[in-house]
Amino acid sequence: MNAIEVSHISKSYGKKVTTPLPRREGQGGESVLALSNVSFSVNKGEVFGLIGPDGAGKTSLFRILCTLLLPDAGTATVDGFDVVNQMMEIRKRVGYMPGRFSLYQDLTVEENLEFFATLFGTTVDEGYDAIKVIYQQIEQFKDRKAGALSGGMKQKLALSCALVHQPSVLFLDEPTTGVDPVSRKEFWEMLSMLKERGITIVASTPYLDEVRQCERVAFLSEGRVMGIDKPEIILEQFKDIFNPPGIEKNVQYSSHSEAAEPSAMFNVQSENVIEVEHLVKAFGTFRAVDDISFSVNRGEIFGFLGANGAGKTTAMHMLTGLNQPTSGTGKVAGFDIRTEHEQIKKHIGYMSQRFSLYEDLTVAENIRLFGGIYGMKDDEIARKTDSLLKQLKFEEHKNDLVGSLPLGWKQKLAFSVSIFHEPAIVFLDEPTGGVDPATRRQFWELIYEAASRGITVFVTTHYMDEAEYCDRISIMVDGKISAIGTPEELKQRFDKPDMDGVFTYLARQATRE
């Protein structure tokens, strides 16, 4: 008997209409065909991947198999139990990590674990052997609130909570999105240990190195299964989606360029738009940022890398005027980060890890709103809105609610809005987390186009192929900058074939938690 059997499952949300609209899973509204006649099976003890672009139907399928959502048609069984008629039996036997962090931020590590054990009618003591190898890695922090954990530690806690009742099937919906490469490798090493114990694992992921660790994968697109086979066969068969051709930065910004010059917006004569000397940010005795110095040129794409907890976000908060340094000096767009942080906010763009637009406003309303916030005039907003919609090919969707857009569309819109006012520099904090490879490539084309206009791009990312696209890269370890240079310089310096090798080598030298 297979661990999972899915036969002709279909799922729609809302009313059907004749015009195509962006799909969205799990929300009401007009036409959403999430799944259409989906069939596959998963062997007991298999590591099975569900892969596909944003909006393919993966999350809807996870929710159906975990009995959180009812199908419109078709049947499915998990461990031999029907997802509709025997859902309580299934819930005893499955663990589930949803795409978004599922734990309680204000509870401690230990309190979260105890809570999830209670939900399943067990105790931490009874389930400890099932989670021992994983939980022992974070047990020393059992009194720390979950919201204060690094990305890698959060994933270990979430996995421990999903396993505390000793399930036979584990469902993981993009479990490592937003987690640094080293922590991702550790996470999949843990999954290998679970497989050795006979646990069946079904996982979705946008990371190709993780796809390759599955025994088989099902490729979903627009709610349909397009193929099921070994990873290398599916990735080759659909290489246009999973391995699009690389992009090259053909246009290098020049101070004599005829393109729009954001430099007119800030009071600096130097070609450097960021200058930092001996910057420190301490929380009590803990130095999150520990004496960093660097500069960033105008029109440069500067990658700011580091493992979760290395200090990247803290440093970025100081540079964007959201936090004040403990010591050291810095200028952004010519303004002092200590005394002119309000001026800095007016002359930069910012896109956070968490989607920053208003989901209950339309595409056009969001653009107009942020144009007004940036102090742009109405006629300029109107003119540039039409141009932006055309550039993004959003003309037919300008009146769609942003909440209805696929994740990749949202990210491209958020970036475009962040540079709508032609800032001197735009800060991008993991802008493509969870986005499929083809959409990420489109996103980086937008970044290159912005850089060609003289906009400096300061970007953090956990995708090491994206690191290769940057002009220069710095890598933080334990609050310090351990290395800085072009991708080629860093690969040569550390004798590694790619940036993943460089990052892994440096990040594993970290000593602090």
The pLDDT score that the predictor gives to residue 439 is 83
CA–CA gap between residue 189 and residue 170 (Å, rounded): 15
Mean of per-residue pLDDT scores for the chain: 87
User: With 90 as the cut, is the pLDDT of residue 214 above it?
Assistant: yes
Q: Which residue carries 């080759």 as its tokens? A: 236
Question: If pLDDT is split at 50, 70 and 90, which confidence band does 374 have?
Answer: confident
Q: Cα–Cα distance between 124 and 117 in angstroms, integer? A: 6
Residue 366's contacts (CB-CB under 8 Å, 6 or more residues apart) are: 357, 358, 402, 413, 417
Residue 266: partners with Cβ closer than 8 Å, 6 or more residues away: 273, 333, 334, 335, 347, 424
Per-residue pLDDT for 270 more than 70? no
Crossing angle of the two packed helices 407-418 and 363-373, in degrees rounded to 10: 20
Which one-letter amino acid corresponds to residue 410? Answer: K
In the chain the first and final C-alpha atoms are separated, in Å, by: 44
Q: Decide if pLDDT at 299 tops 60.
A: yes
pLDDT cut 70: percent of the chain above it: 91
Q: To which H or E segment does residue 196 belong?
A: helix 181-196
216: Cβ–Cβ under 8 A, 6 or more apart, which residues? 46, 48, 49, 228, 229, 230, 231
Cα separation values, 243 from 136, 207, 250, 403, Å? 37, 11, 21, 28
pLDDT at 144: 93
- Look-up of token digits 């475009």: 416
* 6 has a pLDDT exceeding 90: yes
CA dist 272 and 13 (Å) reads 51
Q: Give the residue among 171, 176, 127 at the shortest CA–CA distance from 156.
A: 176
Report the distance separating Cα 47 and Cα 195, nearest Å. 7
- Judged against a pLDDT cut of 80, whether residue 275 lies above it is answered with yes
- Chain segment 380-401, per-residue pLDDT in tens: 999 999 999 998 889 889 999 9
Report the run of H or E that residue 384 belongs to, with start and end: helix 378-392
Q: Could you please report the per-residue DSSP string of 284-331? A: TTEEEEEEEEEEEETT-EEEEEE-TTSSHHHHHHHHTTSS--SEEEEE
pLDDT band at 262 (very low <50, low <70, confident <90, very high): very low
- Token pair recorded at residue 335: 């303004």
**Alpha carbons 122 and 114: distance in angstroms, whole number:** 9
**Average pLDDT of 202-230?**
95
- Assign 3-state DSSP to the chain and report helix, strand, coil percentages, each to 5: 35, 25, 40
Contacts of 461 (CB under 8 A, 6+ apart): 303, 305, 430, 431, 432, 467
Question: Based on C-alpha coordinates, what's the Rg of the chain?
Answer: 24
Model confidence at 18: pLDDT above 80: no
For residue 415, give Cα distances in angstroms to 304, 430, 449: 17, 11, 12
User: Which residues face 294 on adjacent strands?
Assistant: 276
Read off the pLDDT of residues 450-500 as tens digits, 9 standing for 90 and up.
998 899 999 999 899 999 999 999 999 999 999 999 999 999 999 999 999
Higher-scoring residue by pLDDT: 318, 439: 318
C-alpha to C-alpha distances, 160 to 98, 99, 102, 201, 336, nearest whole angstrom: 14, 16, 12, 14, 45
Residue for token pair 């009618």: 121
Q: In this structure, what are the phi and psi dihedrals at residue 509, rounded to the nearest 5 degrees?
A: -90, 0
How far, in Å, CA of 229 to CA of 436, rounded?
Answer: 19
Residue 437: pLDDT band (50, 70, 90) is confident
Angstrom distance (rounded) from CA 467 to CA 486: 10
At residue 242, the pLDDT reads 86
Give me the sign of the Cα torsion angle 34, 38, 42, 48: negative
Name the nearest CA neighbour of 171 among 22, 34, 68, 318.
Answer: 68
State yes or no: pLDDT of 280 exceeds 50.
yes
415 in Cβ contact with 353 (< 8 Å): no
Residues composing the chain: 513
Residue type, 332: V
Q: Which residue has the higher pLDDT, 303 or 23?
A: 303
The DSSP bridge pattern shows strands 456-460 and 425-429 to be parallel
CA–centroid distance for 176 within its chain: 8
Which tens digit of pLDDT belongs to each residue from 97-148?
987 767 898 999 999 999 999 988 899 999 898 898 889 888 999 999 998 8
Kindly state the tokens that stand for 443: 């996103």
Stretch (H or E) spanning 491:
helix 487-493
Query: Three-class SS of residue 219?
Result: strand
